[in-house]
Every structure is written in structure tokens, then in C-alpha cells.
Structure 1
Amino acid sequence: MVVENTKWTDDDKMVLEKLARTERPVVLLVNKVDEVKDKSKLLPHLQWLSDQREFKDILPISAKNGDNIDALRTVVKAHLQPGFHFYPQDYVTDRSVRFMTAEIIREKLMRFTGDELPYETTVEIEQFGKSERGTTHIHALILVERPAQKRMVIGEGGSKLKTIGTEARRDLEKLLSSKVNLKLWVKVKSGWSDDERALKSLGYRED
């Protein structure tokens, strides 16, 4: 779980509540500590965070500056459980192309909306097919929780959504080794992140 320096939001609380339902170990990363000018405020906040749940580790980091990233690798490795090789070594992922397509679009979505957009945002691939000429046609739906988030994703005159689409299309053409015709829509669907059936259809839950 990743939180931002001395901040604690409703979204952070929601994620923590969801994690509390699992039995898996949780490592808390406190990012952007480089932006905390008064370091004396950091330690009490870390103590407060540790009281919220029994985390396996709490690690202050700066992804921007690379602070404590080596320690993060060590912590992650310490909690990895040994297991069998279920796939050949040359397998990059066991996910479908549709899932990878959605993740590429979502990555661009997060990149170009920055910290403004909360966790409850995802991408649903509605259509995915290839024409006789070899062009891959993709229709993707961006799901958000509130109307304000929809306006944020679209941007003034559709400028932000256009940028997200352009950058995603470039990566998709590399992934699929074909020309891509990508169309994006944004839809408000309140409560989707708490809908088990919706989470399964989007690949976030297994049957």
C-alpha cells in the first residue's frame, strides 16, 4: 500500500479497509518524504500509521529521488514465498492481451491526471478486434466514481482524454505489432469498486 508523506485521505482509508479483509502481508510505503520540509512531523505520522493496522513493514521512500528504494527491494524479497514455476521463464505475463491493453490505458490515465485522480478508476475493454487490413480496433470505457472525475479525465475541450488516447495508442502498437485505432469513452459508475461482479469482469477478482 502506498500513501503520500504526511497525508491521509478517504481513499487511503478505503484501501486499508479492503486490505483488512485479506490475510496477506501488507507493506506500507510512505512516498514523497522528500517533500516534507519539517521532518519532525514525519515520525509522529509514521507512528500513527502503525497504529492503524499491523503492517509487516512501514517504509518511508521517495520514488522521485530513489531514497530507500534498495531497502524496498529487500523488504519485498523478504516477504516473497518460494513456489513452483507455473510458466516458462520466457513468459512475460499470464494475463490476456485485453487485460494488458486496459492496463496500458490505465497507466496513461494515471500519468496524465497525476495525483488528482483517486484509486477508484479503471478501464473496461468493450470491443477488441482486427480488421482484414491488419488494424486493431479497440473501444475502451474509462470508469470513474463521480462526475467531477469524468470532467478531470476529459479535460478542457477533450484535450486530456486526447493525450491519454494518443500516448496509449503508441504503446499498444508496440505491444500488438500492428496499427491501432483506439476510441475512449468516460462513464460515471458510482460504487463499481465495491461491486464484486464488476471486479471479476474487469480482472480484479478470480472466479
Structure 2
Amino acid sequence: MHRSSRYKDDGDAEKRLSIAKKISAGDERGLREAHDLWHSLLYNIAYRALGSKEDAEEAVQLTFFGAWRSRHTLKVTDSSLPGWLVGILKNTIADVRKLRYRSKLIFDKSIEEATQSALSETFDVALRMTLVNELSSLGQPRSAIMWLSLVEGLSSQKISERLNVPLGTVKSHIRRTIPLLRSRLADILERK
């Protein structure tokens, strides 16, 4: 039977069984092998569900972290591993969607509150307007995370707790977004 597929399919039941056994036994090599075989499949499912390369990649990464943490739940058969990974991915996608929704609600509420009160006195009007526009263009959950960090002055830990997002995810978004904002706001900052 010929399968036209964009994904790597090892076609080897013994290999799948071996990988499942390694993961179940706590052997990290099994997780690496599973990643090599099914990353593309999981990424494409996540991308179709989430519509964002960054969110899809993060969902796949969280799926493999989740797989490692819950490896004791894996039923070791030659066909269980791909379905088990897809199941974890589906739960991860649902979590990302909930996070986006919560982040949007918090962000919208924060924007509304910010329009009623002045932002920090250290920002002039042009910088405030540019910052609000730039944060709005980031997409969720990055915009909510950056708003809580830059405008409300919350620590990464507090943001993690407030949004119910892993601390590493919050720190990663902040670390990747600060240089982007810095370059976008450079003109205004240079005029000060």
C-alpha cells in the first residue's frame, strides 16, 4: 500500500515498540527518536489548529514535555505512541486556546483601564500610543504578557500565576519580544 504523506513514517512496528519502551522506561533517547519521527506531524496538526508558527512550535514542544512527564501513562504497544502523542497535543492545543482567550480578556480589560488612567509618568504621549499599538499587534498571549510586564510592572512569576501559563513560557515570550519592541520604539526613545 502506497501512502502519500508529508510526514516521516517509519513503517516499522518494532521500531515504534522500541521507542515506546524507551520512553516508558525513562530513557531520553526514546523521546528524541519520537521527536525525530513525529515532530512534523504534530507541528502540522498544531499549525492547522492554531494558525501560528510560533504557537504551533510551542504546542509541539509542550507536547513532548507533557509526554515525558506522563510517560508512565503510555501503553507500550507498536501502535500506541503516535496516537498518545496526538492526544497530548490535542490537550495542549485546547490549553493554548484557553490561554489565548484568557489573555485577550485580561489584555482588553487592561487596555480599557489604561485609557481611563494615565500610564507611567516616564512615558510621554507618543511613546504610550506607540507602545499600545505595538503591544496590540503582537497577538495573544504575547501582548497580554508584555502588557502585564511593561505597563503593570508584574514579575514573570506573577504573570505566570495570573495567566496560568508556565513560567518558562512567560520568560520566553518576554525575552523574544523585548528586542522587537526596543527596535520598534527606537525612534521615539532616541528623541527623548
TM range (shorter): under 0.3
Q: Which has the larger share of strand? A: 1
Max radius of gyration: which structure? Answer: 2
Q: Which has the larger share of helix? A: 2
- Provide TM-score, normalisation by structure 1: 0.25
- Provide TM-score, normalisation by structure 2: 0.26
